[in-house]
Structure 1
Amino acid sequence: MTDLPRRLAAEALGTGLLVAAVIGSGIMADALTADDAVALIANTLATGAILVVLIALFGPISGAHLNPAVSLVFALRRNLSVGEAGLFMLAQVVGGIGGALLAHAMFDLPLIELSQKIRSGPSQWLAEAVAAFGLVAVILGGIKVQRAAVPWLVGLYITAAYWFTASTSFANPAVTIGRAITDTFSGIRPADTPAFIIAQFIGALIAMALAGWLWTDTPQRETA
């Protein structure tokens, strides 16, 4: 197993690059088009693509959780110790904040700008629970039946979830925190982040419970 410092570095770096891609692509898209649908397509493609790359590269080092909700699930499944999970979550949040700062620096914006974009209400919270539920179910199901495909499964799921969830599928507490300090296309008002994060953890825990039953005794396969 890779030593803990390198695993934490992978989680911080991977989450940082993910947030930089989410925010940076949103800034670029917003600068190039006044059409919100076109901007969201660009933001979606960049996010899905970077997830495939990051999970493929960092998976062998840390598992490429890049998400506190995923790390919590792995700790509850005893694939990760409680102490390691706490450090993973801290590394992810720090990385996510760093990714937001990096995106701003690349586009010559103030390093921190608290978002004014309102994302609130029961439909948004439900969407975040669904987004996180689907993400964790895809990860756990993919590990069980088609491990080599997990980077693609996650990237494709998030690409789809951008469009079928009302919240555009944050599905990640660390990413949510990072997006709270950018007043750009992909931002979320800081006051709205706690409810998003709670919904994400709830969705992840429901997925964990279902996956433990649904894929019980399912043999791992190389192809679908």
Structure 2
Amino acid sequence: MSSFDLPRRLVAESLGTALLVATVVGSGIMATSLTQDTALALLGNTLATGAILVVLITIFGPISGAHFNPAVSLTFALTGSLPRRDLGGYVLAQIIGGIVGTMAAHLMFNHPVLELSTKVRTGGGQWFAEWLATFGLVATILAGIRFQQKSVPWLVGLYITAAYWFTASTSFANPAVALARSLTDTFAGIRPADLPSFIIAELIGAVSALLLMTWLLRPNNSTEAKS
């Protein structure tokens, strides 16, 4: 449990999510302004996102746990690591932070403060990709905490860097970030009509990972006793 009180933890969650989204959206805008090559633009977007995750989890992890993601907060609430009474506050802080992050990116690049995305991201492949992306993210976090807690910032940053490229959806894996990205009509955007399916897939992916990893990471005490 964190030694920081709830207001400080909520500010950390909101600020961290804001900086994460500002990086995702801002690097997407910067990339497309520098190159017409979609693969190169995605690479720039990917590297910036993976790098900022390492930084944000390192500096905010000791305060709030550095979830920046309602699916992750839900996972920790289900395990008891996050008091369930705090879950609503975490999710609200993450959503507000994400929207502020989009606004900040737009202000830097002289875009309208908020705009609805027209980028279509839908279909079974995209939904499965979001399930898989979130499943892998939560599995990485849970196993990382179990075996290499100090490495979690790097594990998450590297996982998301990889998932940008091996998932059809470019790995949103985060309901708050997905919502914030529906408010930017840029490289990183997602059409608001496509949000519900993404969010449902992400939440199911998180719970699926929790169920599997709870079993997988539990030592077999009877076997240990015999050895």
Q: Same fold (TM over 0.5)?
A: yes
Structure 1 residue 93, shift from structure 2 partner? 0.4
**Most deviating of 80-89 and 138-147:** 80-89
Distance 1:34 1:171 in 2: 26
| Amino acid corresponding to residue 149 of structure 1 in structure 2 | S
The answer on 1:159 being equivalent to 2:161 is yes
1:170 paired residue among 169, 172, 185 = 172
Structure 1 residue 79, shift from structure 2 partner? 1.1
Q: Runs of at least 4 residues of structure 1 off by over 6 A? A: none
Structure 1 residue 80, shift from structure 2 partner? 1.3
Structure 1 residue 217, shift from structure 2 partner? 2.8
TM-superposition CA deviations, 1:169-197 (whole Å, max 9, x none): 00000000000000000000000011000
Q: Which residue of 2 is the match for residue 131 of structure 1?
A: 133
| Amino acid corresponding to residue 159 of structure 2 in structure 1 | Y
TM-superposition CA deviations, 1:10-51 (whole Å, max 9, x none): 000000000000000000000000000000000000000000
Q: Which residue of 2 is the match for residue 91 of structure 1?
A: 93
Distance 2:82 2:56 in 1: 20
Matched ranges for 1:64-79 at <5 A = 64-79=66-81
Corresponding residue SS for 1:128: helix
Distance 1:15 1:54 in 2: 9
Distance 2:39 2:67 in 1: 29
Identity %: 65
Q: Which residue of 2 is the match for residue 222 of structure 1?
A: none
Q: Which residue of 2 is the match for residue 44 of structure 1?
A: 46
Distance 1:105 1:83 in 2: 35
How many residue pairs are counted as aligned between the two chains? Answer: 218
The answer on 1:35 being equivalent to 2:69 is no
2:146 paired residue among 144, 147, 156 = 144
1:20 paired residue among 19, 22, 38 = 22
2:9 paired residue among 4, 7, 10 = 7
Corresponding residue SS for 2:111: coil
